[in-house]
Chains A and B, each alone.
Chain A
Amino acid sequence: AQTIHQWPVAEIKAVGSPLSLGCTIKGKSSPNLYWYWQATGGTLQQLFYSITVGQVESVVQLNLSASRPKDDQFILSTEKLLLSHSGFYLCAWSSRNQDTQYFGPGTRLLVL
């Protein structure tokens, strides 16, 4: 069975500080990977997706970047956090040529 792990579980960071969030998929080779952002009580906004190692496509510009250093790992980062970056960050995966996305447990970020 596939498992998806996100770290950290939660972060409190200062405006202007750097950020790195991670996501790991186990039990699935060559998955499509996604990053989403969700405001409290809000909808899911896709930020990035990746279909292979080293290749990442940006969906929206939020002063964030993403990388896929390994087949099973997806990283979300920024050098300078903004207040507007606060929210719930979700990683998801899907199989190639499959429609269904499966979400991780999420990382709660609060920027002060």
Chain B
Amino acid sequence: QQQVRQSPQSLTVWEGETAILNCSYENSAFDYFPWYQQFPGEGPALLIAIRSVSDKKEDGRFTIFFNKREKKLSLHITDSQPGDSATYFCAARNEKITFGAGTKLTIKP
């Protein structure tokens, strides 16, 4: 069964700190990994994505680090802001897309 696991389930960091959200997967055939940000009552929005041929993808304060050998990736949010408080979903795709259970991130001012 294709699975995508996220940890921690919830995370609280202080404003200005770096938040690190983890994701791992089982299927070596996954080759595309998008991260989505979801605020309560809204649909998920694509935040940043990486392909398996890369080991790092950066977009402003958001960076994905990808380790293909260990089948792990992480999303780093630097200089965290209260507006970053949301649930973050890691997803993986080969023929279809599979979502993790999400990490609820809270940024304390």
Interface residues of A (CB under 8 A from B): 41-46, 49, 59, 90, 92, 99-106, 108
Q: What's the Cα separation between A99 and B52 when bound, in Å?
A: 13
- B residues in contact (CB < 8 Å) with A: 32, 34, 36, 41-46, 49, 89, 93, 96-97, 99-102, 104
- The closest CB in chain A to the CB of B102 belongs to A43
Neighbour of B45 across the interface among A43, A44, A103, CB < 8 A: A103
Partner of B43, one of A43, A46, A100, A105: A105
Asked whether, in the complex, the Cβ of A100 is within 8 Å of the Cβ of B44, the reply is no
Determine whether the beta carbon of A44 is less than 8 Å from that of B44: yes
Judged by DSSP, the binding face of B is strand
Contact across chains for B93 and A90 when beta carbons are under 8 A apart: no
A36 CB, min distance to chain B CBs, angstroms: 9
Known: A43-B99, A44-B99. A99 touches B34 (CB 8 A): yes
A102 to B89, CA, bound (A): 14
**Extra A-B contacts (8), CB below 8 Å, given A42-B102, A100-B49, A106-B42:** A43-B99, A100-B34, A100-B46, A102-B46, A103-B36, A103-B43, A105-B43, A106-B41
Contact A46 B97 (CB under 8 A): yes
For A105, give the chain B residue with the smallest CB separation.
B43
With both chains docked as a complex, state the minimum distance between the C-beta of B106 and any C-beta of chain A, in angstroms.
14
Q: Which of A45, A49, A101 has the most CB of B within 10 A?
A: A101
Complex CA–CA separation, A101 to B104 (angstroms): 21
**A46 vs B98: C-alpha distance in the bound complex, in angstroms?**
8
Pull 26 A–B residue pairs with CB atoms less than 8 Å apart, ordered by A: A42-B101, A43-B89, A43-B99, A43-B100, A43-B102, A44-B44, A44-B89, A44-B99, A46-B96, A92-B43, A99-B49, A99-B93, A99-B97, A100-B34, A100-B46, A100-B49, A101-B97, A102-B46, A103-B43, A103-B45, A105-B42, A105-B43, A106-B41, A106-B42, A106-B43, A108-B41
CB distance from A51 to the nearest CB of B (A): 12
Residues in chain A near residue B49, CB distance under 8 A = 99-100
